[in-house]
Amino acid sequence: MDPADMDDEMNTPQRTRGLVAAAIVGVSLSVSAQNAGWDAKFRAIPDPKNIGEYMKRMSARPHHLGSAYDRDNAEWILAKFKEWGWDAKIETYDVLFPTPKERSVEMVAPSAFKLKLEEPAMASDPTSGQKTEQLPSFNAYSIDGDVTAPLVYVNYGRPQDYDELDRRGISVRGAIVIARYGASWRGIKPKVAAEHGAIGCLIYSDPADDGYVVDEVFPDGPMRNSSGVQRGSVMDMPTYPGDPLTPGVGATPDAKRLDMKDVTTLTKIPVLPISYADAQPLLAALRGPVVPGDWRGALPITYHFGPGPSRVHMKLAFNWNRVPIYNVVARMQGSTYPDEWVIRGNHHDAWVNGAQDPGSGMSAVLEEARALGELAKQGWRPKRTLLYIAWDGEEEALLGSTEWVEDHEKDLREHAVAYLNSDGSGRGFFSPSGSHSLEQLVNSVARDVEDPETKMSVWKRAQARRIANGSKDERSDARSRGDLRIAALGSGSDYSAFLQHNGVPSLDLRFGGFDTSDGVYHSIYDDYYHFTKFLDTDFAYGRALAQVAGSMMIRLADADLLPFEYTNLADTVQTYVKELETLLKDRQDAVRERNKEIEEGVFTAVNDPRRPLEAPKSETVPPALNFAPLENAANALTQASARYQKAVDAARPKLASNAAALRAVNARLMQAERQLTDDAGLPKRPWYRHLLYAPGYYTGYAVKTMPGVREAIEQKEYAEADSEIVRVARALDREAALLDSVTSLLR
Ligand SMILES: [Zn+2]
């Protein structure tokens, strides 16, 4: 890091505290002089040219799960790992992966229109014409179906969109819904539609969200053109991800498999994604009331709710095959603590050619692995064992990582130190998320990596963004808190099984903010041509990603004392408790206000009789909840983490030379994240065991923190909220007790 930068960052007492602590925890215990400089040496090695070459090779042909080139890539990655000095192998599983056998959608009234369901090749884009190897556009894990029904437009298809429909007396029962992509994860749309009685679901990409409203469309610009379609999984992953037939266990050949009829994660209704060229005639023919302003997309039509007179016939049939997963697992043995594993991963499979998703992340990970191999040739030996894993089948349902974690659950409980994930990455700001016990490590590394465009540290640029775009609290935090806050993890990539099923501290690392890759996301146009024309064109941010993640891997592997830090975790937990209290209070206030307005006759008075809305029904005000156990436990954790920090600082000089003490301390620290899990799992979804972080049951990828409590309040299940408060409090108490046990070891 530039020393001038460092002075600048240390000009307030809080910053000094954060910086000093970060420096000590991460590095100073790996005291031996020959080790101290390895991560700086490492950062000089990654070369953007190589990253571009790996991407070009891996995205040269479509390589979805089960395809010939998917396997070819896995074998190529395996050979590369070996060439770079890693001990590598392919681990396989057998998973259920439906691919389209028949797809047809037509409007049968008021006029006839047959949807094309095709993305055309572009003359300027050399891989867009690889028709025979491309997976057609579809949503994986939709059920088969043959349905004909009137159409209803449901905006983004979230629960609150159905409240709007209810106020107009519009039901989707027996209808086919058309939802637009965006605002919630796609799998939520058919799930909520089916809960409301719909019998089919179409999902289209509106130009307002990722098309011509945002920027020029492909091939003139990066955004989605009229024929572009977003493929993607609609499996009910908030219930459990991975192979639908083998929940909770690895999908090995002899694993016990569910009968298809007992699988709960397939959709309940047939679903298909379409382009806006295909959607427009259907939407244009809808009548019924005109939708409110925030429901309108950017097509040159007046948007109506329906139902009908557009009547749609959709017929879908899939090949319900079992296909092999090829995870490539590379290992570099640790010299001092070989039984402690630091794990890094990115998926290698794509929906089609996948240059951005996953190529931008995967090729950076490969360059990291090459650079670490290079470092080993220069004499470096990681103290802990490194595992670098290229996952298969991420796109369908995090299949490769989930099956591997389920298969190796016992080993991971004993040996896993941390898991660092990446996936599609871009140009701009460093955007880390993950376990808050790793927040300080993330910050310390981010201060040491240079932003390719501004030459300031990636930390400094991320800080500037928070100040520029943040709320008042976020600005003040970014200026005065020692560490930038990292976001919590929901789902959407391969960390889920590590963190949420198995309690392994995890991070997801990426850059972004300037380029929108959304415009080709999961289409045939996410390819090398698009990436090198519109995104991280010189792979400079690919290099930055390799530098950030590789440096973290080295510090995790070499630090004598594991670089976990708990005062930041405790601080974040306190903010979650306050958020929940505010959530309940806001709900109480909102219900009280609405009940009052109903009494006052406000809804009747402001109603437009030509476009009448039904008045909402009065509701019972949410009861008070007892947050005391949670407040007490959060305070206990705050105190225990401070005691631990103090004890670590005091013990540091003698600890460095006491191998036995270090081992004992590290062994306990490795169990710290797991204290935040509960084997019973979350209500309605036992696969998810982490009590602080989960994807939302009704939002999909987006995170819900303290999900048991938060979702119970949102779903108005107040008795459950009270019992979940107690369960989270117990987990925080376990964490505090574990830290106290480490503190006593240090004394
Ligand atoms: Zn991806």
pLDDT 10s digits, 454-469: 999 999 999 999 999 9
User: What separation in Å is there between the alpha carbon of 601 and the centre of ligand 1?
Assistant: 51
149 touches 172 (CB < 8 A): no
Q: Is residue 17 pLDDT above 70, yes or no? A: no
Q: How far is the CA of 390 from the centre of ligand 1 (A)?
A: 12
* Dist. CA 11 → ligand 1 center (Å): 40
* Residue 29 pLDDT exceeds 80: no
CA of 130 to the centre of ligand 1 (A): 21
| Confidence at residue 18, expressed as pLDDT on a 0 to 100 scale | 33
Q: How many A from CA of 547 to the centre of ligand 1? A: 20
For ligand 1, a single-atom ion, which residues have Cβ within 5 Å? 357-358, 423
Q: Which residues contact 478 (CB under 8 A, 6 or more apart)?
A: 463, 466, 467, 470, 484
Q: Are 693 and 508 in contact (CB under 8 A)?
A: no
Confidence of residue 13 (pLDDT cuts 50, 70, 90): very low
Pairing of strands 428-430, 511-513: antiparallel
Q: Ligand 1 centroid to 479 CA: how many Å?
A: 33
Q: pLDDT, tens digit, for every residue of 412-444? A: 999 999 999 999 999 999 999 999 999 999 999
| Cα(522) to centroid(ligand 1), Å | 9
Sign of CA dihedral 199, 282, 228, 517: negative
pLDDT value at 26 more than 90: no
Q: 650: CA distance to ligand 1 center in Å? A: 44
The pLDDT value given to residue 36: 63
Mean pLDDT, residues 17-22 taken together: 34
Q: How far is the CA of 274 from the centre of ligand 1 (A)?
A: 20
> What distance in angstroms lies between residue 400's CA and the mean position of ligand 1's atoms?
12
Phi, psi of 155 (to 5 degrees): 55, -125
65: CA distance to ligand 1 center in Å?
A: 13
Distance of CA 100 from the midpoint of ligand 1 (Å): 21
Residue 430 confidence (pLDDT): 97
pLDDT at 654: 85
Give the distance (Å) from ligand 1 centre to CA of residue 476.
33
Q: Report the percent of the chain where pLDDT is more than 90.
A: 91
Report yes or no: 689 and 677 within 8 Å, Cβ to Cβ: yes
- Residue 656's pLDDT band, with cuts at 50, 70 and 90, is confident
Question: Ligand 1 centroid vs 357 CA: distance in angstroms?
Answer: 5
Reply yes or no: is the peptide bond before residue 695 cis, omega within 30 of 0: no
CA of 495 relative to ligand 1 center, distance in Å: 12
Specify whether the CB–CB gap between 227 and 273 falls below 8 A.
Answer: no
Residue 145 Cα, ligand 1 centroid: separation in angstroms?
28
State the distance from the centre of ligand 1 to the C-alpha of 656, rounded, in angstroms: 40
